[in-house]
Amino acid sequence: MGENPRGEALARLDTLPNYKNGGFENLAERADSTVKRKFLFLHSRPKTIRPSHELPWVKTDLNTPAAPAPTIVWFGHSSLLIKTMQGNILIDPVFSNHAGPVPGLITAFKGTTHYHASDMPPIDVLIISHDHYDHLDYRTLKKLKDRIKLAVVPLGVGSDLIYWGFDPKKIIELNWNQSALLPGGLRITATPAQHRSNRSYSQENKTLWAAYVIQADQYRLFYSGDSGYGPHFKKTGQQYGPFDLALLECGQYSLNWPWTHLWLGQAAQAAVDLQARLLQPVHWAKFVEANHPWNEPIEKLLPAAQKLGIPVNVPRIGEPYTLGDPPKQKVWWDFK
């Protein structure tokens, strides 16, 4: 389950403007606190909440040399490898075939479990967006630990990594709008997101959540982590954009948490706000975490993006995409 900041680490957080009353706060009011939640597995669920067939996937050799432009490989949900000339970036890796501390409760879809920690190339930088189990996976990180040169995480999340055996000297914690310039030339900037954190019900918002701006040579990419819609997208676009690619969450929305995830089509508007040239949806097609059909996120996102004039890249699991190539738009998800 990790460990929240203690001692000197906690004392440092207590001096920050976005850490109040024992926890981090969003830029806007936390409306989710007023919602009367219904337990996911006790509520009505559509028959198509999981795909009826194995999802198509592509086996890619991840150790091949990087192309001149960044190449993105998506492993389902929010797990991503970005290969650049400045280094390999691994984002929110979950290769345990389930999300959460209890194996078998939230299991991965068939077709999303063919990549493992052992398939990853040397990792120049690990990026973690927040401490939820579907983004910060203990079993995966223990297997990858010795192959990760540096980890860039939001404030407080470093305590989890240190507890799991990571070298504190290889961890960089960032607050919103702080940057790290890495030895290979990558610049990673944490930016505001609208979400929450916790790895137990009794310890909420003790660590920060963040989105990220990734600058590799002349390319700029944005990764949303988990975030509800708000003015922070437009502000990030004005401050750090335009972006060659925006990797934006588009699934696991629910009336139980209406404020901390993007709803149907909102990823398209967020891409406009960010001044993104291309949108790739993430946070879908691997786990059941909300009561919507498994492929509803992409089916609702595409017409919204078309209306706003935003091209969408939708690769298969493991299928590499290099910036500058035509977007992957084969409809591989059209089955129940």
Q: Give 30's pLDDT tier (boundaries 50, 70, 90).
A: low
Q: Among the residues of 158-295, which ranges form H helices? A: 158-163, 232-240, 266-274
Residue 39 has pLDDT above 80, yes or no: no
Determine the pLDDT at residue 45: 85
Residue of 128, 119, 58, 56 whose CA lies nearest to 90: 128
Domain locations in the chain as residue ranges: 7-24+67-322
What mean pLDDT is reported for the chain?
94
Could you read off the pLDDT of 78-115 as tens digits, one per residue? 999 999 999 999 999 999 999 998 888 899 999 999 99
What would the two tokens of residue 210 be?
A: 């963040």
DSSP string, 79-138: -EEEEETTEEEEES---SSB-SSSTTTSBPPTTS-S--GGG---BSEEE---SSTTTS-H
- What is the dihedral sign for C-alpha 60, 62, 64, 70? positive
Query: Which helix (H) or strand (E) is 249 found in, with range?
Result: strand 245-249
Find out whether 37 and 256 touch, Cβ atoms under 8 Å: yes
Tell me the C-alpha distance between 116 and 99, whole Å. 15
pTM of the model: 0.96
pLDDT, tens digit, 9 for 90 and up, residues 194-221: 999 999 877 789 999 999 999 999 999 9
- The residue written with tokens 């189990």 in the block is 133
Token code pair at residue 231: 């003015």
pLDDT in tens, 258-304: 899 999 999 999 999 999 999 999 999 999 999 999 999 999 999 99
Helices (H), 174-265: 232-240
Q: What are residue 89's phi and psi, to 5 degrees?
A: -115, 125
Residue type, 40: L
Contact 84, 186 (CB under 8 A): yes
pLDDT(31) > 90: no
What's the CATH fold of domain 7-24+67-322? Metallo-beta-lactamase; Chain A (3.60.15)
Query: Which candidate, 172, 85, 70, 178, places its Cα nearest to that of 127?
Result: 172
Distance CA 252, CA 263 (A): 9
Residue 42 has pLDDT above 50, yes or no: no
Cα(249)–Cα(83) distance, integer angstroms: 20
What's the pLDDT at 38? 54
Q: How confident is the model at residue 28 (pLDDT cuts 50, 70, 90)?
A: confident
Query: How many angstroms separate the CA atoms of 302 and 39, rounded?
Result: 29
pLDDT value of residue 308:
98
> Which two structure tokens, joined as six digits, stand for 143?
């297997």
Q: Are 257 and 221 in contact (CB under 8 A)?
A: no
In 3D space, the residue among 193, 159, 156 whose CA is nearest the CA of residue 177 turns out to be 193
pLDDT band for position 24 (cuts 50, 70, 90): very high
Instruction: State residue 29's pLDDT score.
Output: 63
pLDDT at 37: 52
Query: Span 26-31, mean pLDDT?
Result: 74
What pLDDT digit, counting tens, does each position of 129-170 carry?
Answer: 999 999 999 999 999 999 999 999 999 999 999 999 999 999
Cis peptide before 5 (omega within 30 of 0): no
Q: 76, 79, 159: which is closest to 123 by C-alpha?
A: 79
- 171-195 tens-digit pLDDT: 999 999 999 999 999 999 999 999 9
